[in-house]
């Protein structure tokens, strides 16, 4: 594969793995990246051919170039949270956002973050997950300001990668806080917000 090659990605159809790969390629400077909407499930449902042949991959002279615009660190996320220099989206389910459940030691969300779960980006069509139309997705993110940067996070980076992919297509300047809640929620000195304490530390 060359740096200018068109890359088409697909997964089981629920976008988490494929969006994470999309984000990773963007971080490493690859611009020509597309997703197969509905993934492998949609391909099968459409009756397109499949194969069990494993392609032979040969090494290439591919040279990645880091693009920091797609990646947010803990320091940058903390700065954005305290200064409102960027809009922060928590892409986890609502129960995790308000602190009813957590995959980290602490429960809640990053201060100033708004909750837009990643599942709002797609819907089931005849049992196959498909991205909503651009018009519907614009409504999902209607509260955001396109002139202001967006930082998306979740637990480990897959849900936020879906948000990143969608917002990139909608014309937002968006990055992923890759450490996510697993990093922030396990860091005892960082501020958190949950439903029982609006400023718990």
What are the tens digits of pLDDT across the range 46-74?
Answer: 999 999 999 998 888 888 899 999 999 99
Q: How many helices (H) and strands (E) does the chain have?
A: 7, 11
- Between 4 and 17, the higher pLDDT residue: 17
Q: What's the pLDDT score for residue 104? A: 97
Which residues are within 8 A (CB) of 186 and not within 5 positions of it... i.e. 6 or more apart? Answer: 104, 105, 106
Q: What percent of the chain has pLDDT over 90?
A: 81
The mean pLDDT of 68-83, rounded to a whole number, is: 96
Helix then strand then coil, % of the chain, to nearest 5: 30, 20, 50
Query: With bands split at pLDDT 50, 70 and 90, how would you rate the model's confidence at 149?
Result: very high
Q: Which residues are catalytic?
A: 154
pLDDT digits (tens, 9 = 90+) for 6-52: 999 999 888 999 999 999 999 999 989 999 988 999 999 999 999 99
Element holding 72 (H helix, E strand): strand 71-72
The H-or-E segment that residue 139 falls in is: helix 134-140
Supply the pLDDT for residue 198: 60
Q: How confident is the model at residue 79 (pLDDT cuts 50, 70, 90)?
A: very high
What pLDDT sits at residue 200?
A: 43
Say whether pLDDT at 189 is over 90. Answer: yes
Averaged confidence pLDDT in the chain: 93
The closest of 32, 163, 185, 26 to 101, measured between CA atoms, is 185
């Amino acid at each position: 594969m060359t740096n200018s090659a068109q890359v088409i990605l697909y997964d089981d159809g629920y976008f988490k793995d494929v969006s994470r790969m999309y984000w990773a390629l963007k971080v490493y400077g690859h611009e020509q990246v597309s997703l197969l909407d509905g993934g492998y499930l949609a391909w099968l449902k459409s009756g397109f051919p499949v194969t069990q042949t494993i392609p032979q991959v040969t090494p290439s002279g591919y040279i990645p170039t880091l693009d920091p615009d797609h990646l947010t660190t803990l320091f940058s996320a903390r700065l954005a949270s305290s200064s409102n220099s960027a809009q922060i989206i928590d892409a986890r389910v609502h129960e995790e956002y308000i602190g009813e459940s957590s995959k980290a030691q602490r429960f809640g969300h990053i201060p100033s973050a708004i909750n837009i779960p990643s599942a709002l980006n797609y819907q089931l069509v005849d049992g196959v997950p498909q991205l909503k139309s651009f018009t519907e997705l614009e409504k999902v993110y209607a509260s955001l300001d396109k002139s202001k940067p967006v930082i998306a996070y979740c637990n480990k980076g897959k849900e936020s990668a879906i948000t990143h992919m969608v917002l990139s297509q909608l014309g937002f300047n968006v990055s992923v806080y890759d450490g996510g809640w697993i990093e922030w929620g396990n860091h005892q000195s960082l501020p958190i917000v949950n439903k029982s304490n609006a400023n718990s530390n």
